[in-house]
Amino acid sequence: MLTELQVAVLGGDARQLEIIRKLTELDAKVYLVGFDQLEQSFTGAVKEKLEDLPFDELDAIVLPVAGLQPTGEIETVFSADHLRLKKEMLMKTPAHCIIFTGISPPVLTKLAEQTGKTLICLFDRDDVAIYNSIPTAEGAVMMAIQHTDFTIHGSSVAVLGMGRVGMSVARTFNNLGAKVKLGARKSEHLARAIEMRLTPFSIEQLPQEAESLDIIINTIPSLVITAQAIAKMRSHTLIIDLASKPGGTDFQFAKKRGIKAILALGLPGVVAPKTAGQILAGVLAELLKKDGLK
């Protein structure tokens, strides 16, 4: 239980609702900021204005998965208010108060450093990344179906990267009957591809492989789908880039060549916000229980 803990949830999307539900079920006192247009209510949670929060009593602050916008504003889909977390607000919080977010853009990292606050990025955790790879893979399937006029079954698909997301995506498309090739750099990743009954190839060979591919799914956050590779692709080839912004594709050249290339960010929150929220809520609750904060 999280009895006596006081947590402020600032902005966010539908995933935040699962976090609020979990925290209130565990008897935490929850303050909701940026939820004035939300009709749903939670026992144990109260809506507040940002400036009216009891910052000096907070044990934790939960931000949206994207942290703060470059302008310092807090993104929320349940309010039209412009919310901005300021240095002086964090300076009022107790020394043990922890900030939770999904990722930390530079503006948030700097703010935490200036105020001496512990910042926990949930998306950096292996367990969260592995759990999230499931809705990400399903989202990639959804996009492949929406943006092609052929079946996944029997199509030639290349997955670039054999990390936590790449492995789940490759397995999913393989199970759907696609002819999956796995592009990677490390020898152990190429070996794992063989163990999974996939066809491995080195990333450097993508230009040679490109002309035979129907779908390319990238998970590597660096430029790997280059102009040289795009130039060899057939007109119907679809690129789905799952890597963090700005992705790993030469989008400008793809557009010039008439190749459809999509930067698909935040798929778990798009295709399965409830599940994605439950993943974050479960991990967040365990961290709060473990640390005890007070």
pLDDT band (50, 70, 90) for residue 83:
very high
Residue 76, pLDDT > 90, answer yes
Q: How far, CA to CA in Å, does 260 sit from each of 56, 118, 230, 236?
A: 51, 41, 10, 8
Report pLDDT for 290. 79
Residues 183 and 116 in one domain: no
Q: Flag whether pLDDT at 142 surpasses 70.
A: yes
Give domain status of residue 1, yes or no: no
Element of type H or E holding 271: helix 267-271
Q: How many Cα atoms within 13 Å fall on the side-chain side of residue 104?
A: 18
Query: In this structure, are residues 160 and 166 in contact, taking their beta carbons and an 8 Å threshold?
Result: yes
- What does the pLDDT look like over 235-276, one tens digit per residue? 999 999 999 889 999 999 999 999 999 999 989 999 999 999
Residues 174 and 234 in one domain: yes
The verdict on residue 161 lying in a domain is yes
Tell me, yes or no, whether 44 and 88 share the same domain. Answer: yes
- What percent of the chain shows pLDDT beyond 70? 99
Would the pLDDT of 285 be above 60?
yes
If asked whether residues 38 and 79 sit together in one domain, one would say yes
pLDDT grade for 72, boundaries at 50, 70 and 90: confident
| pLDDT band (50, 70, 90) for residue 291 | low
Residues 114, 232: one domain?
no
pLDDT band at 108 (very low <50, low <70, confident <90, very high): very high
pLDDT digits 0-9 by tens, 23-58: 999 999 999 999 999 988 898 899 999 999 999 999
- The CATH number for 23's domain is 3.40.50.720
| Counted domains in the chain | 2
pLDDT digits (tens, 9 = 90+) for 171-205: 999 999 999 999 999 999 999 999 999 999 999 99
Confidence band of 219 (pLDDT split at 50, 70, 90): very high
Partnered with residue 155 across adjacent β-strands are none
35 within some domain:
yes
33 and 144 share a domain? no
pTM: 0.87
In three state form, how does the secondary structure of 92-122 look?
CCCCCCEEEECCCCHHHHHHHHHHCCEEEEH
Domain range enclosing 110 = 6-124+272-291
Say whether both 58 and 183 belong to one domain: no
Our measurement of the distance from residue 294's CA atom to the centroid of its chain's CA atoms, rounded to an integer in Å, reads 30
Give the pLDDT score at 238. 98
Residue 92 binned pLDDT confidence (cut-offs 50, 70, 90): very high
Q: What is the pLDDT of residue 245?
A: 87
Distances (CA, A) of 230 to 17, 140, 147, 223, 262: 41, 20, 18, 12, 14
**Same domain flag for 138 and 256:** yes
How far are the Cα atoms of 29, 80, 142, 235 from residue 172, in angstroms, in the given order? 40, 39, 12, 25
Domain assignment present for 53: yes
**Residue 219 placed within a domain:** yes
The answer to whether residues 222 and 153 belong to one domain is yes
Same domain, 120 and 163: no
- Do residue 250 and residue 278 come from a single domain? no
* Best-predicted range by mean pLDDT (11-15, 125-129, 141-145): 141-145
Q: Are residues 174 and 54 in the same domain?
A: no
Amino acid 292: pLDDT: 54
Using pLDDT thresholds of 50, 70 and 90, give the confidence band for residue 4.
confident
